[in-house]
């Protein structure tokens, strides 16, 4: 059934382009993937991805299934049906079947490197689900189980996402829907999670659905902390009467780029240049020291920053995107 639905779409996709152009793009993408295989960064990401999948699998088999909780995303959608078909199919195979059309559709929007990495992640996840099948975690209190499961699965997931890892699923679906229908990714996730929680209440009881909501919230919070906390990016705004000296004695010393914003003071009405830069947490102490020595009267604002894509940080390719040449 899945193949019948997906194959016509795949051939329609191929017919939309010449075979030659398609093969050239495939060669370029595959070359990028081969280059990534020879970098320690990519293998470190795969190691973290495998550990993250293993941790999430422990949470699924050891907490969610025994307590009748559901997860968010495709795993949650799969768990809706799993109780009724588990005698005929393993959860890992069910999730594989659900992801096949997702990967094919996502191929149009993401680079081959991202799709292949997601496929590797899906292999890790499937193997981990089989390895942890039947595992027991002795937490009888459902609230503690929901909180522990969310933290245990959330932090590793956020960590591998910060490195560019993925297992496909809702990440791909959300991006495709956003690009085609201009629906925010967060809205797509919220709709799916609402369906999962509502189904949990209908299939079991309201109490289980509420604990599912607790698990989702804690998982989302932990995932964000794992993703942002480990990246430790800081956006810094500096207002100084000596902007050139600040650039020379502060930013160049820590080897960071910068951008000027032209602004005017709200009280004094004088023209100013605001210096904007992004640094790592480890560089913040040195920046403050150099800034104090250069201009003790300077105003500085430091903010936590999640994703940073650009020079000396993640590239668009690391995030799974690729440039497409416009058809003439």
User: How many distinct structural domains can be found in the chain?
Assistant: 2
Based on the fold, state whether residues 66 and 213 are members of the same structural domain. yes
| pLDDT tens-digit readout, 232-263 | 678 999 999 899 999 998 988 888 888 999 88
Asked whether residue 198 is assigned to any structural domain, the reply reads yes
Based on the fold, state whether residues 173 and 238 are members of the same structural domain. no
Model pTM? 0.70
Asked whether residue 7 is assigned to any structural domain, the reply reads yes
Is it the case that residue 15 has pLDDT exceeding 60?
no
The pLDDT assigned to 145 comes to 96
Based on the fold, state whether residues 16 and 118 are members of the same structural domain. yes
Based on the fold, state whether residues 237 and 163 are members of the same structural domain. no
Among candidate residues 231, 263, 279, the one where a domain is terminated? 231
| pLDDT tens-digit readout, 151-179 | 999 999 988 887 888 888 887 887 778 77
CA dist 125 and 118 (Å) reads 10
CA separation (Å) from 114 to 49, 184, 253, 271? Answer: 13, 21, 35, 46
Q: What is the pLDDT of the chain when averaged over all its residues?
A: 84
Contact status, residue 152 vs residue 54, Cβ threshold 8 Å: no
Asked whether residue 319 is assigned to any structural domain, the reply reads no
Q: What is the CA radius of gyration of the chain?
A: 24
Based on the fold, state whether residues 114 and 247 are members of the same structural domain. no
**Whole domain around residue 290: which residue ranges?**
233-305
Going by the DSSP 8-state scheme, the letter that residue 241 receives in this structure is S
Among candidate residues 202, 231, 260, the one where a domain is terminated? 231
Contact status, residue 33 vs residue 128, Cβ threshold 8 Å: no
Based on the fold, state whether residues 59 and 102 are members of the same structural domain. yes
Based on the fold, state whether residues 107 and 35 are members of the same structural domain. yes
The pLDDT assigned to 11 comes to 53
Asked whether residue 325 is assigned to any structural domain, the reply reads no
Based on the fold, state whether residues 97 and 173 are members of the same structural domain. yes
Cα-to-chain-centroid distance, residue 192:
17
- Strand stretches in 139-240, DSSP E: 233-239
Asked whether residue 315 is assigned to any structural domain, the reply reads no
Asked whether residue 272 is assigned to any structural domain, the reply reads yes
In the predicted model, what is the mean pLDDT of residues 289-294?
90
Among candidate residues 215, 231, 247, the one where a domain is terminated? 231
Asked whether residue 279 is assigned to any structural domain, the reply reads yes
Based on the fold, state whether residues 19 and 140 are members of the same structural domain. yes
CA separation (Å) from 185 to 176, 188, 290? Answer: 9, 5, 40
Based on the fold, state whether residues 227 and 100 are members of the same structural domain. yes
Residue scoring higher pLDDT (307 or 296) = 296
Based on the fold, state whether residues 70 and 160 are members of the same structural domain. yes
Provide the H-helix boundaries in 60-132. Answer: 65-67, 73-85, 91-106, 112-131
Asked whether residue 128 is assigned to any structural domain, the reply reads yes
CATH number at residue 261: 3.30.70.120
Based on the fold, state whether residues 213 and 253 are members of the same structural domain. no
Least confident of 124-128, 237-241, 303-307: 303-307
């Amino acid at each position: 059934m899945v193949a019948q639905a997906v194959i016509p779409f795949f051939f329609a996709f191929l017919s939309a382009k010449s075979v030659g152009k398609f093969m050239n793009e495939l060669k370029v993408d595959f070359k990028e993937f081969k280059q990534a295989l020879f970098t320690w960064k990519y293998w470190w990401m795969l190691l973290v991805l495998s550990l993250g999948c293993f941790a999430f699998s422990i949470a699924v088999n050891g907490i969610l299934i025994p307590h009748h909780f559901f997860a968010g995303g495709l795993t949650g959608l799969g768990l809706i049906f799993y109780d009724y078909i588990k005698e005929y199919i393993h959860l890992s195979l069910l999730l594989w079947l659900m992801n096949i059309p997702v990967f094919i559709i996502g191929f149009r929007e993401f680079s081959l490197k991202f799709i292949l990495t997601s496929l590797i992640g899906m292999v890790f996840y499937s193997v981990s689900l089989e390895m942890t099948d039947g595992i027991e975690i002795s937490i009888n209190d459902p609230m503690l189980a929901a909180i522990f499961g969310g933290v245990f699965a959330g932090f590793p997931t956020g960590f591998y996402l910060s490195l560019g890892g993925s297992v496909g699923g809702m990440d791909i679906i959300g991006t495709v829907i956003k690009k085609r229908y201009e629906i925010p990714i967060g809205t797509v996730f919220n709709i799916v999670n609402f369906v999962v929680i509502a189904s949990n209440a209908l299939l079991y009881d309201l109490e289980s659905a509420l604990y599912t909501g607790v698990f989702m919230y804690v998982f989302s919070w932990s995932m964000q902390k794992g993703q942002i906390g480990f990246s430790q990016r800081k956006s810094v705004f500096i207002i100084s009467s000596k902007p050139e000296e600040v650039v020379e004695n502060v930013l160049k010393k820590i080897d960071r780029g910068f951008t000027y914003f032209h602004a005017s003071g709200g009280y004094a009405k004088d023209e100013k240049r605001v210096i904007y830069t992004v640094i790592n947490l480890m560089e913040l102490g040195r920046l403050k020291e150099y800034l104090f020595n250069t201009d003790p009267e300077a105003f500085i604002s430091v903010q936590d920053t999640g994703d940073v894509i650009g020079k000396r940080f993640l590239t668009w390719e690391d995030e799974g995107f690729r440039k497409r040449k416009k058809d003439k």
